[in-house]
Amino acid sequence: MAQWLKQAISKQDKDEAQQQVRETVEKLLADIETRGDMAVRELSKRFDNWEPEEFKLSEAQIQACINRLDSGTLDDIRFAQDQIRNFAQIQRDSMKDVEEETLPGVILGHRHIPMNRVGSYVPGGKFPMVASAHMSVVTAKVAGVKEIITCAPPFQGNPADAIVAAQSMGGADSIYVLGGVQAVAAMALGTESFPAVDMLVGPGNAYVAEAKRQLYGRVGIDLFAGPTETLVIADETVDGEMCATDLLGQAEHGPTSPAVLLTNSTELAKQTMEEVEHQLNTLSTKNTAAPAWRDYGQVIVADSYDEMVEIANQLAFEHVQVMTDRDDWFLENMSNYGSLFLGPRTNVSYGDKVIGTNHTLPTLKAARYTGGLWVGKFIKTCTYQKVLTDEATVKVGEYCSRLCQLEGFAGHQEQADLRVRRYRKEAA
């Protein structure tokens, strides 16, 4: 039976905080839907103190942002985008259109059709999340999306140069400097100056995530997102320093970001807890990471590797770092996770920034039923059918007629019967 050496705050406390977020977002969305650009501008001023003449950047403004970056930074952005583009292309190449004759004269098929217009949100108010631009814009481009609109908040009172560069280099068609609920609402609902998109993608804070949840249905979304989650699964093959580093590396995302150690070693568990406190003394982002660890951190000691897998699948966390003497065994036996990071030589930061897999991943147990953002999320798999012979439509029609009668659908039955009557004569 597993033991919890450290537990997070109660579910009730978490739910109360989320209820406040939900109510706030409902009011903001209603305001933007009613008043359009005027509401967007007022909210941008209120939340970000940002009220430019135009939220959309001109080509000259975009180039100015790029020009302010040194060549090394631009090279780093190119390298990261190359890795993400390469893996996205590998994924895209795995998706094949199909067309088969399933009965004599009956052709069934499907086509993979990219979306027409996608809105990408790139968070950046607290930290300029350059990598999020790669993950959404580059992947959408590989998928073949016709138009990519991007929004990111201002950073320290100006467009975030590195984010703008990444958006542009990734292939964005329009770049807006606008953050928060007002950004995702403007893209989803459309306003006088924002064309409405078909789908919203990209991470964000609790308010952005809730806005996407409430907008789902009017537009598609990549997935339901909550605070960043990280689960470190480790045994005595690694030490407390590495486990603590990997926990705090994700806890710094926000004060509600869960970071959990799951181990079969009480000694490693205690060593890691001590090391977390030691590292927090010098971590520059401790004002975020410390409350996340205090309120949402957990340390779980399991009796066996089998129990570790069972608990990990129940948690269904976004990021799962595995550092054990049997990493591939976890790959074979785990079923609920956003992305796996196998072995001590890799880590979640690689996936977040540069290695090539997408960092927009399911949270809040959504990994039970979906994976993360990938090229396929931007593509609709649409079926079609053709019946090429009179004999084929008569055969299918007779079956269809009887099945429609069984269900009591007279109009459906007549659709089939009409074909049977008409094409049986011609077939004869």
CB 55 within 8 A of CB 177: yes
CB 359 within 8 A of CB 132: yes
Triad 23, 24, 29: Cα angle to 5°: 100
230-234 vs 220-221, strand pairing mode? unpaired
The CA distance from 186 to 168, in Å, is 20
- Residue 158: which residues within 8 A CB-CB, separation 6 or more? none
The CA distance from 225 to 364, in Å, is 7
| Widest distance between CA atoms in the chain | 88
The CA distance from 263 to 144, in Å, is 43
Give all strands of the β-sheet with 106-114 in edge-to-edge order. 98-103, 106-114, 379-387
CB 299 within 8 A of CB 7: no
426 catalytic residue (yes or no): no
DSSP state of 263: E
318 catalytic residue (yes or no): yes
Active site residue: 318, 391, 398, 414, which one? Answer: 318
Neighbour-count burial for 95-123, b at 16+ CB within 10 Å, e otherwise:
eeeeeeeeeebbeeeeebebbebbbbbbb
- Residue 326: which residues within 8 A CB-CB, separation 6 or more? 305
CB 194 within 8 A of CB 155: no
The CA distance from 368 to 390, in Å, is 46
Active site residue: 241, 319, 391, 426, which one? Answer: 319
As to burial, measured by CB atoms within 10 angstroms (0-12 exposed, 13-18 middle, 19+ buried), residue 332 is exposed
CB 181 within 8 A of CB 125: no
The residues carrying an active-site annotation are 318-319
